[in-house]
Amino acid sequence: MTSEQPGEAYVWVWLPGATEPVVAGRLEQSARTLDFNYGRSYLARSDRIALFEPELPLVSGRIRPTGNLAVAGVIRDAGPDAWGQRIILRRLTGAGGRDTDVDQLSLLTYLLEAPSDRIGALDFQSSSGTYEHRPSVGTLEEMVGATVEFLAGGQLSPDVSQALLAGSSVGGARPKVLLDDGGRKLIAKLSQDSDPYPVVKAEGVAMELASRVGLTVAPVEVRNCLGRDVLLVERFDRTAIPGQRRLLVSAMTVLGVNEWGAIHSGYWELADAIRARFSDVDVTLRELFSRITFNICVGNTDDHARNHSAFWDGGSLTLTPAYDICPQLRSGQEAEQALAIRPDGWRYSQLAGCLDAAKVYHLTPAEAWDIIDNQVSTILSSWPEAAERARLTAAERDAMWHTQILNPYALYDWPRRP
Ligand SMILES: Nc1ncnc2c1ncn2[C@@H]1O[C@H](COP(=O)(O)OP(=O)(O)O)[C@@H](O)[C@H]1O
Ligand SMILES: [Mg+2]
């Protein structure tokens, strides 16, 4: 299989404000890494920007990924993740169950097979001369129907297989498709039979609460389609001007780590990066702190470094709206966040301990207290309405309340006034 896989691909980019892509350079497979070269024509452009710095500086010649990375983070971020890889693998090899080894295809194959409407402002092509858009269109019903067939594991017709591709360019592990709904570009995240709790509605209610406590968050809507719960999420990597795309990088890329490195990363390191490289430092740090404490309030412990992103304009970074805030199942009371909150490695899902981290996020303990207090009281007062919007049944609400949402462990020793 490996011998038939591509050895190179061209990276096309939508520069800030542009509605058409240009070739930025070429990716080349070497023994262990996927290396990048800027094209001469790109380096000669007056409006050139580094695809991301410091990993891909504007220099000529081969740029190998640094550290333990197999490919520059900004390229990895634009590729399919667990869900998309399963779809592409099934199309190309017939295999693609949950346990299939997705590493039998190379990253270059995944980059070239996924459709063009991917997250961010990069696309991958086999030609440097002409840009060929690989479309991915379909209605919500077609897409949901196709996903259900895929998850059932049967033979897929070419139509179904084509429809499924639409979600394969987006990262993440949950089933999803991309939609064009008039002027709105949406990600639709689907429920599956194996969900241990109503995951889609849980994410819906958490995102709704997030917006009510004042976080900057992608707007969402919970729908039912063909008997499945579907979460429609408005995309923030597109603008009101048709054709424009916004470059973004995950926090994993900002921190310069791979999946393994990300396990040991922390919010406090992201705070350092914000101080060094982001626009609007104080506002951003406040928002980050608020996202941390909100995740604790709603039991979202899946707040790893791919679930935070920043826009990149070639000069500075700006935090994107929050996404993928999904209350997780917990067995006992004790829980930890995926990213450490304090430089001492503290990552417990407890609000009181976050007060001790206030300084890291340029807040006084009193300001941190106010943020948390507002979140807790807003969640208490708006839970019924938010739950209604997310279509949670009474039984589902009861199951979430004080288990995932405002768990006693999260509230331990709270309110402790500074
Ligand atoms: N509203 C959005 N606009 C643009 N990109 C998004 C948005 N929400 C998520 N993404 C991107 O899509 C990826 C997958 O979405 P996510 O909600 O994290 O799915 P999963 O639950 O499978 O992890 C994210 O890592 C992020 O890169
Ligand atoms: Mg995610």
Ligand 1, atom 27: nearest CA belongs to which residue? Answer: 171
105-132: per-residue pLDDT in tens? 999 999 999 988 889 999 999 999 999 9
Set out the domains of the chain in order of their start, with CATH numbers. 2-125 (no CATH), 140-234 (3.30.200.120), 248-400 (no CATH)
The environment of the single-atom ion ligand 2, i.e. residues with CB closer than 5 A, is 172, 307, 324
Rounded Cα distance, 272 and 267, in Å? 9
CA of 59 to the centre of ligand 2 (A): 32
Asked if 366 and 355 count as a contact pair (C-beta separation under 8 A), the reply is: no
Ligand 1, atom 6: nearest CA belongs to which residue? Answer: 235
What are the φ and ψ backbone dihedral angles of 238, each rounded to 5 degrees? -125, 160
Give the pLDDT band of residue 61 (cuts 50, 70, 90).
Answer: very high
Q: Which ligand is nearest to the CA of 204?
A: 1
CA of 250 to the centre of ligand 2 (A): 10
Give the pLDDT band of residue 390 (cuts 50, 70, 90).
Answer: very high
CA of 61 to the centre of ligand 1 (A): 33
155-172: per-residue pLDDT in tens? 777 777 777 787 787 878
**Pairing state between β 220-225 and 228-234:** antiparallel
391-407: per-residue pLDDT in tens? 999 999 999 999 999 99
Cβ atoms within 10 A of the Cβ of 71, count? 22
The residues lining ligand 1, judged by C-beta closer than 6 Å to any ligand atom, are 119, 170-174, 187, 218, 233-237, 306-307, 309, 323-324
Q: Which ligand is nearest to the CA of 74?
A: 1
In this prediction, residues 297-315 reach a mean pLDDT of 97
Residue owning tokens 């288990």: 403
Query: Is residue 33 pLDDT above 50, yes or no?
Result: yes
Asked if 205 and 386 count as a contact pair (C-beta separation under 8 A), the reply is: yes
Chain centroid to CA 167: how far? 13
Rounded Cα distance, 80 and 84, in Å? 5
Give the pLDDT confidence score for residue 97 in this predicted structure: 66
CA of 307 to the centre of ligand 2 (A): 5
Calculate Rg over the CA atoms of the chain.
21
Cβ atoms within 10 A of the Cβ of 192, count? 14
